[in-house]
Amino acid sequence: MPAERLTRKNAEEARIGIVHLGLGAFFRAFGAPWIAEAVRAGGGDWDILGVSLRSPAVRDALKPQGYAYTAVELAPQGERFNVVENVRDMLVAPEDPEALLAAMAHPDVRIVSLTITEKGYCHNPATGELDPKHPDIVYDCTGELPKSAPGFIVRALQRRKEVGRPPFTVMSCDNLPNNGKVARGVVIDLARLIDPELADWIEAEGRFPSTMVDRIVPATKPEDIARVEEAVGYHDAAPVMHEPFRQWVIEDEFVGGERPDFAAVGVQMVEDVTPFEHMKLRMLNGAHSSLAYLGYLAGHETIADTTADAAFAGFVEKLWGEEIIPALTPPEGVDLAAYAGMLLDRFRNPSIRHRTWQIAMDGSQKLPQRILSTLQENLDNDRTSPRLLLAVSAWMRYVAGTDEKGAAIDVQDPLAERLQTLTDEAPENGDVHALLTVREVFPADLAERLEPLLQPVHAALVAKGARASVEALG
């Protein structure tokens, strides 16, 4: 007999105080549970309206469960199960953009949070500025029912301004340097294209705190759903998997000071998130991406598999110690060498099946902040970066679309077609030069400095393969 489906147990209705754009696995494994804890500790009406900007898949899985779902902690010593119930409803933006705008303009909503990934900001990743030629931005300038996340934010703020209502706080939870500043910039720039007075109002009254979020959340697979059902005795169509570790650092800058009592449950509320953000983006995400491209090319399916290979474990330890840590100013009281050791333990967690292919997605959007920013800083300070150069070269080999055995790679990237065309049309040994012309990734001055350094690294990678190249660096 099939198990009964998970249903919401908590019937109490709190007001929706947060609209979250991009209700994917990460926020459901990280933000929503932590917000629920903050409400239990400090009270307040902070239930969540989830939003998908594209697909109805998550909504369709959660709706029959009353939007309750199971968050599964994957610890080496065993699994723990937590039913999360503070997502009260969900909208799919393309189905009813008017309903979403009305919800965001509602006076009870005081925070709009975001996990829309880098590409959702419709910006140039190399500069952080709004791309006015992005198709969604062009569309959003022509009418009041938008497509993009910045478009929905601007039009909802416009409605609030028109009725004399304060703006909501925009809280980005994406892995972007200065994510609050990026969000503020694209929103104000878009508002200025639509209505300069609205842009001035947002600039004066709006708040865009930067945040740093850290929890490894692998994609949920069909076998995970079956395993959860066997363990808990009910069917959950949309559980989320996560590691035990979590860290959330937030700049304490909210409209009217209105927010859940984050500090009561261990969220770090700070004046400036930048040191934490650089530490995490460069050490965790930079290493993750480096291991993803190189590990995938070497035939490793997951990060745990990759770091179980002694050559890769030695590679990432030296990557941190010799190339990334020297380019960082640590947050007060943080030992970066100890942090690196903790990261390696997290990467090695055998319960976390975080696929190299998943981490490799959207590399054109991630490379500038995760790897190129450190590489640039090392170049400016005459420090060598052989492992970072190898990581960039591995990305170039990966996006060319063929692995070391000649099999096709399913490259998931907003620029995938263009990257493939550039490498297909490049002369023999011309991939490095061709890909360095992609200005969304490589600014012209950086590209010019990188080309003579990358050419021999890439030639060796193609000739010897990823694992041998990693092993050669120790």
Q: Report pLDDT digits (tens) over 230-271.
A: 999 999 999 999 999 999 999 999 999 999 999 999 999 999
What's the first-to-final CA gap in the chain, in angstroms? Answer: 54
Residue 144 included in any domain: yes
Residue 60 included in any domain: yes
Show the CA angle centred on residue 220, arms to residues 216 and 222, nearest 5°: 155
Same domain membership, residue 356 and residue 249: no
Same domain membership, residue 433 and residue 324: yes
Looking at the structure of the chain, the number of domains it has is: 2
Query: Which pLDDT does position 376 carry in this prediction?
Result: 97
Residue 49 included in any domain: yes
Per-residue pLDDT for 460 more than 90?
yes
Q: What are the beta bridge partners of residue 268?
A: 249
Residue 174: which domain range? 16-270
CATH number at residue 387: 1.10.1040.10
Helix (H, G, I), strand (E, B) or coil at 459: helix
Helix (H, G, I), strand (E, B) or coil at 169: strand
Same domain membership, residue 406 and residue 353: yes
Residue 11 included in any domain: no
* Both tokens assigned to 229: 């059902």
Same domain membership, residue 289 and residue 143: no
Neighbours of 116 (CB within 10 A): 23
Residue 423 near residue 401, CB atoms below 8 Å = yes
**How many residues are given for the chain?**
474
Query: Which pLDDT does position 12 carry in this prediction?
Result: 66
Residue 441 near residue 380, CB atoms below 8 Å = no
Same domain membership, residue 310 and residue 250: no
* Domain final position from 270, 299, 324: 270
Residue 432 near residue 392, CB atoms below 8 Å = no
Query: Which pLDDT does position 13 carry in this prediction?
Result: 67
Residue 8 included in any domain: no
Residue 158 near residue 213, CB atoms below 8 Å = no
Residue 3 included in any domain: no
Backbone angles phi, psi at 28, to 5 degrees: -70, -25
Same domain membership, residue 380 and residue 262: no
* Domain final position from 270, 298, 327: 270
Backbone angles phi, psi at 210, to 5 degrees: -80, 150
* Both tokens assigned to 453: 């350094």
* Domain final position from 270, 294, 317: 270
Above pLDDT 90, what percent of the chain?
A: 93
Same domain membership, residue 107 and residue 36: yes
* Tens of pLDDT, residues 100-128: 999 999 999 999 999 999 999 999 888 88
Whole-angstrom distance, CA of residue 46 vs CA of residue 33: 12
Per-residue pLDDT for 2 more than 80?
no
Same domain membership, residue 323 and residue 382: yes
pLDDT band with cut points at 50, 70 and 90 for residue 8: confident
Query: Which pLDDT does position 1 carry in this prediction?
Result: 54
Same domain membership, residue 188 and residue 291: no
Flag the least confident range among 8-12, 26-30, 247-251: 8-12
Residue 6 included in any domain: no
Residue at 465: amino acid letter: G
Residue 4 included in any domain: no
Nearest to 314 by CA among 294, 297, 331, 285: 294
Whole-angstrom distance, CA of residue 222 vs CA of residue 75: 20
CATH number at residue 57: 3.40.50.720
**pTM of the complete model:** 0.88
Same domain membership, residue 309 and residue 246: no
Query: Which pLDDT does position 143 carry in this prediction?
Result: 84
Same domain membership, residue 321 and residue 249: no
Return mean pLDDT, the chain.
Answer: 96
pLDDT band with cut points at 50, 70 and 90 for residue 11: low
Same domain membership, residue 185 and residue 315: no
Whole-angstrom distance, CA of residue 431 vs CA of residue 455: 9
